[in-house]
Structure 1
Amino acid sequence: MGKMKVLQIVRKSEGGMKKHLLSLVRLLDKDKYEIAVLCSFDKKTQEYLKKLGIAVYDIDIGDGISLKKDYRTIKFIRKVVNEFKPDIVHMHGAKASLVGRVACFAMPVKTVVTVHNFANYNNMSFYKKKLLLSLTKILDKKTHQFIAVSQALKDDLVLNQNVKENKIKVVYNCIDISFYEETTLNLKEEFNLPQDSFIVGSVARLIPAKGVQDLIKAASILKNVNAYFFVAGDGPFREELQKMIDSLNLKDRFFLLGYRNDIPSFLRNLNVFVLPSHEEGFGISVIEALSEGVPVVATKVGGIPEIIQDGVEGILVEKESPEELAKAIEKFLKDEELRKNISLRGKESVGKYSCNKMIEEIYKIYDTLKGR
């Protein structure tokens, strides 16, 4: 019996979706699976994939809806499917699953969609939204398998998209540090900070939904606390966030570090990790922080409460509440015993996010689809 062929489709991304895709294709057994990736990733990432023995098809899938551009993308995907002849086409995220499923419509392949985030129809005209919802409803019925990276996303698919519950499997993302660089990062030395100061940090794409603006406001509330704030990540909201930092006179205490590929080293510098998201499909940076023994403050949105029990593995607060964020951060900074106890419990809880467990669940899904 020959190898099962799997085509992965994903748009350009730098967060949990990209981490998940890279972990998945790295871990899939190359003796059992022949893998191709159709993506919009940067050249460095594409070279990484090629070194793994993976065929890479480069195309800019984009993010919004553009009929002319999307038509070209759909045409290209059909060409790749006809050339590669996959048994399964596995799509990640809303945009890739839209163009991918349209391209595969009526083609002899099994389709899998991994849902990483909640559907977002903001900034979309009424007619475009109506068209998209109608098309999605048709495509959902034809999709063979959905994977949700949290129970919250599964519930949303059932309630808001009317996807049948038995077509959705929850498979959590895993902790995979294999593609990070290991550095001897020392933020106190690098930024000439007092040795007795506390370091509060976050890892987030700089967009409004990640709530970094709330963390900046919380830092302003905590002006009398001996703490410094660092955010690893980049994005289109960076300039606005920097203006906020400057206007609140926080430029000596709050630092936007930009994109980093040494996240484990960064996390080990922190006394407290904060994820102030307004919405979050899963929250992979939370489990990365827990695995490094860093106590976590996060908002109780999306999949985060599936990772953190309030007061057990971390502290949960309401979204868009800088006051609650500030109070939770200060609680950790003032109580060393609390930090130790919660970080220990957090580190003990991350076993269920092993890469072996994730890949075994994916194997079951692929094998079941191949057998249909």
Structure 2
Amino acid sequence: MDKVGGAQKHVEALAIGLKQDGHEVTIVTGLYEASLWHLEEEQISVISIPALQRAIHVTKDLQALWQLRTVIKNLQPDILAAHSSKAGAIGRIVGGYLRIPTVFTAHSWSFTDGVPPKKQFIYRHLEKAVQPLTTKIITVSEYDRKLALAKRIAPTHKMMTIHNGIELLTENNQIERNRHEGPLIVMVARFEVPKRQDLLLEALSELTDIPWQLHFIGDGSLRPLLEKYVAEHNLMGRVQFLGNRMDITTLLAKSQLFVLLSDWEGLPISIIEAMRAGLPVIATNVGGVNELIVDGEHGFLIERNEKSLLKTRLRQLLSDEVLRAKMGNNSERHFLRYFTFSPMYQKTLFVYEQAFAKKR
């Protein structure tokens, strides 16, 4: 949790909800940057295990396994909730060894379509190996549940789809949408694989005949390369890199269009945040994205690397204020009906209770 991402936001929101509900919550993570989160003010304990990293590394993974075992043995929790592929696997091994009911949330399988074949092979077999140690599996999209069934990762009775959900905006968050020299596009994503800020920049660099401004929110190792691209294509006056921000709700409220281009996804919280803000969305049709966005109703879906259609859809929305308003209103209503926090929280708590009851 040294970077902001959908899975991390999900964990924070669940932890805060559980704490406010009277449960005792501890988060165990790899690297941790406290300034990015609201956990301290909610008095939620965070334990950092730096050896727990995203990439596979045998020595560090064994260290992380041993250190996590020590932590969990001391905490003696009723439920171990594991998130993300790597931490999820290590967490389930520890949970199985200590006989603690373990619920794994798959935010996007690491063997999903779009992931490099070698990585797919490794993680598919890893998931099959740790499945017997898993009490319940939550998938954030129907796409991921069906993919797991197709790959024979786990039996049907162990899995349940619970779509991501986020809190409603309060009156204090209602912000007048700003006027700009041109429509303001925003993309919220870390500058890492599988996000494709490069594809958006390439498309927009060929649309300089119409007004637009672009804000990138997020950080990561690929950012310097894209900053160089912006400089080389004389886009400095149109593109801003804002880094990691705590005021994403405000920034979205000041925007006119949200874009998320990824090679693979689960059910992106960033899109749900954009829908809550009443923004039309252009996104790649991967993972569970089409469970959020209906093409032509809340925005537009495009296939991976489909730059020609991306340019067409960008021009269409950037040039038509009425269409942006219509799709944005549709997005907000869709969010209010299906993707708020309370239903997601209650369903997740029910799965935790099922897992605990099974142990008893």
User: Fold conserved (TM > 0.5)?
Assistant: yes
Pick aligned residue for 2:14 from 6, 24, 29: 24
Pairs within 5 Å for 1:164-175: 164-175=155-166
Contact 2:95–2:133 (8 Å) recurs in 1: no
User: Deviations for 1:111-130, whole angstroms, at most 9, x for unmatched residues?
Assistant: 1110112315999996x987
Separation in 2, partners of 1:279, 1:129: 12
Contact 1:271–1:294 (8 Å) recurs in 2: yes
| Shift in alpha-carbon separation, 1:31–1:207, aligned structure 2, 3 A | closer
Pick aligned residue for 2:342 from 356, 360, 367: 356
Separation in 1, partners of 2:340, 2:300: 23
Residue number in structure 1 paired with 2:316:
331
For residue 365 of structure 1, what is the amino acid of its counterpart? V
Residue number in structure 1 paired with 2:153:
162
User: Deviations for 1:142-178, whole angstroms, at most 9, x for unmatched residues?
Assistant: 2110011111111222223532122111111112378
How large is the RMSD of aligned CA atoms in angstroms? Answer: 2.8
Residue number in structure 2 paired with 1:68:
59
Pick aligned residue for 2:331 from 346, 351, 354: 346
Separation in 2, partners of 1:309, 1:123: 24
What's the offset of the Cα at 1:306? 0.3
Pick aligned residue for 2:299 from 314, 334, 348: 314
Separation in 2, partners of 1:280, 1:265: 24
Residue number in structure 1 paired with 2:351:
365
For residue 60 of structure 2, what is the amino acid of its counterpart? K
Pairs within 5 Å for 1:230-309: 230-309=215-294
Contact 1:275–1:299 (8 Å) recurs in 2: yes
SS at match of 2:154: coil
For residue 355 of structure 2, what is the amino acid of its counterpart? L
SS at match of 2:25: strand
Pick aligned residue for 2:100 from 109, 125, 146: 109
SS at match of 1:105: helix
Q: In the alignment, is residue 89 of structure 1 matched against residue 80 of structure 2?
A: yes
Contact 2:110–2:124 (8 Å) recurs in 1: no
Separation in 2, partners of 1:255, 1:185: 21
User: Deviations for 1:288-342, whole angstroms, at most 9, x for unmatched residues?
Assistant: 1111111111111111100011111111112212221221111112222222221
What's the offset of the Cα at 1:261? 1.4
What's the offset of the Cα at 1:108? 2.1
Separation in 2, partners of 1:124, 1:324: 24
Pick aligned residue for 2:25 from 35, 41, 55: 35
Contact 1:12–1:39 (8 Å) recurs in 2: no
User: Deviations for 1:184-203, whole angstroms, at most 9, x for unmatched residues?
Assistant: 89987xxxx63xx2212211
Select between 99-108 and 308-317 the one with higher mean Cα deviation: 99-108
SS at match of 2:194: helix
For residue 153 of structure 2, what is the amino acid of its counterpart? N
Contact 1:177–1:264 (8 Å) recurs in 2: no
Separation in 2, partners of 1:233, 1:243: 16
Separation in 2, partners of 1:123, 1:271: 31
Separation in 2, partners of 1:185, 1:72: 50
Q: So what's the TM-score if we normalise by structure 2? A: 0.89
| Shift in alpha-carbon separation, 1:321–1:249, aligned structure 2, 3 A | farther
Q: So what's the TM-score if we normalise by structure 1? A: 0.86
Contact 2:266–2:288 (8 Å) recurs in 1: yes
Separation in 1, partners of 2:42, 2:152: 36
Separation in 1, partners of 2:333, 2:115: 42
Pairs within 5 Å for 1:131-280: 133-176=124-167, 194=181, 197-280=182-265
Q: In the alignment, is residue 54 of structure 1 matched against residue 44 of structure 2?
A: yes
Select between 92-101 and 130-139 the one with higher mean Cα deviation: 130-139
For residue 320 of structure 1, what is the amino acid of its counterpart? N
Contact 2:204–2:311 (8 Å) recurs in 1: yes
Separation in 2, partners of 1:236, 1:25: 28
What's the offset of the Cα at 1:29? 5.2
| Shift in alpha-carbon separation, 1:368–1:186, aligned structure 2, 3 A | closer
| Shift in alpha-carbon separation, 1:17–1:310, aligned structure 2, 3 A | same
SS at match of 1:28: helix
User: Deviations for 1:38-59, whole angstroms, at most 9, x for unmatched residues?
Assistant: 113213357x424424332221
Separation in 1, partners of 2:66, 2:193: 33
What's the offset of the Cα at 1:21? 0.5
Separation in 2, partners of 1:371, 1:149: 23
- Quick one: percent identity of the two aligned structures? 27
Residue number in structure 2 paired with 1:3:
none
Separation in 1, partners of 2:134, 2:105: 11
For residue 29 of structure 2, what is the amino acid of its counterpart? C
Unmatched 5+ residue regions in structure 2? none
| Shift in alpha-carbon separation, 1:107–1:177, aligned structure 2, 3 A | same
| Shift in alpha-carbon separation, 1:147–1:214, aligned structure 2, 3 A | same
Contact 1:219–1:229 (8 Å) recurs in 2: no
